[in-house]
Amino acid sequence: MIYLDNAATTKPKDIFLDAYDYASKNLFFNSSAIYREGVYSQEMIDEVKQIILKKLGLISSENFIFTNSATIANNLAIQGSYRKSWKEVIISSGEHPSVFNTVEWLQARGVVVHFVPLQKNGQIRYDKLEELCNSNTSFISIMTVNNETGSINDLTKICQIKQRCCPKALLHTDAVQAFCKLDINLSNLTEIDFLTISSHKIGGSKGLGGLYYSKLSNLKPIIFGGGQEKGLNSGTQDIAAIYGLGQLVKSIDISKNLEHVLMLKKSFLELIQKCSYIKCNSDESCSPYILSLTFPFINGETLIHALEEKHILVSTGSACSSKKKGNRILSALGVNDKDIISSIRVSFCADNTLKEVSMAAEEIINTYNNLKQRMNIDE
């Protein structure tokens, strides 16, 4: 099988599985227990937080909590920051449903939500963000990398706009598709108050996310219980998953992986673009991990199932939107409805090989041509 749906989820890495197995057998204690093993388990959780913060360019003593998914972390950042005094909130049109749908909760409380439109390359319109920011802006959420197209938003620019136009607003970035894939240095991005990560997008387990929050953020819990994770995510932590994530994050060489994945994407695109019909919706400025492609005349779903028969797994878009009609993100960057239906997402990981992506590219072109032939579409 050639798995090219790594933006949806990744195959757990061996280093993660070995650490998970070790911790399941040896660190199964409740981190709230007061005997030595419990205390040690909590210390181990704190160590993993330091590993994650270091990867984000921060030195210890910063704030980070584990959550049960990135979806929960995004909900917590928004709902846990909300105060009755909020007037306006800004998010981008490209946000993941865990942000996009959560702002409806704010709208129901009378908060005005503004949506920053996207450029053709999928990045936000920085000029529009600047126009929308004002002294009433309470919260801004702009993702680091878009999960459908791989577009990378310029966090430095976003921080500067926020600092200039609404310094008191809180700034959140959903970095799920960027963490451990692109360099993020929060020590140079001090305007960022919240950053979300997810373990299963980088070779860890599902059901584990995390939220960095700045000292200024004054976050309040949205679920209540035993007070774990500084009272912000009550519930017994999955120590094995956390320990595994720590070993995994330590092992990841972001620039080495980036170089490899960039080579994969370039080789894949070179082959794919031999077929002049195929359009690429992710330009060179996008993350090499994600590619959105359009195959005119053919339904993306039909292509995906035909490829599935050949043991090549790709997707129509994000797992969260794949069962819904249309594609909000591609629409926002100006792709027409016909092309949206004909689009698929190919997403790589550092474990993919050149042989795999070359075979996949050739098979995708053959399958596309066969489907067109069957439908009597002439080139």
**Residues known to be catalytic:** 320
Structural tokens at position 29:
């204690």
**Least gap, CB of 302 to ligand PLP (angstroms):** 23
Q: Toward ligand PLP, which CB reaches closer, 86 or 179?
A: 179
3-class secondary-structure state, position 118: strand
* β 343-347/290-294 pair status: antiparallel
Q: Toward ligand PLP, which CB reaches closer, 278 or 329?
A: 329
Name the nearest CA neighbour of 236 among 221, 225, 220. Answer: 225
Burial of 371 (0-12, 13-18, 19+ CB in 10 A): middle
Q: Which residues bind ligand PLP (CB under 6 A)?
A: 69-71, 96, 98, 143, 147, 174, 176-177, 198, 209, 318-320
Contact indicator for 172, 78 with CB cutoff of 8 Å: yes
Q: Which long-range contacts (CB under 8 A, 24 or more apart) does 183-188 make?
A: 183/57, 183/254, 183/255, 184/56, 184/57, 184/144, 184/155, 185/56, 185/57, 186/56, 186/57, 186/58, 186/212, 187/57, 187/58, 187/59, 188/57, 188/156
Q: Toward ligand PLP, which CB reaches closer, 96 or 172?
A: 96
Contact indicator for 12, 202 with CB cutoff of 8 Å: no
Q: Toward ligand PLP, which CB reaches closer, 138 or 321?
A: 321
Contact indicator for 73, 64 with CB cutoff of 8 Å: no
**Least gap, CB of 55 to ligand PLP (angstroms):** 17
Name the nearest CA neighbour of 13 among 136, 190, 180. Answer: 180
Q: Toward ligand PLP, which CB reaches closer, 62 or 95?
A: 95
Sheet holding 343-347, edge to edge: 279-280, 290-294, 343-347
Q: Toward ligand PLP, which CB reaches closer, 143 or 278?
A: 143
Classify the C-alpha dihedral 222-138-153-212 as positive or negative.
negative
Residues 6+ apart with CB under 8 A from 253: none
Q: Toward ligand PLP, which CB reaches closer, 261 or 306?
A: 261
Name the nearest CA neighbour of 52 among 192, 191, 213. Answer: 213
345 bridge partner residues: 292, 315
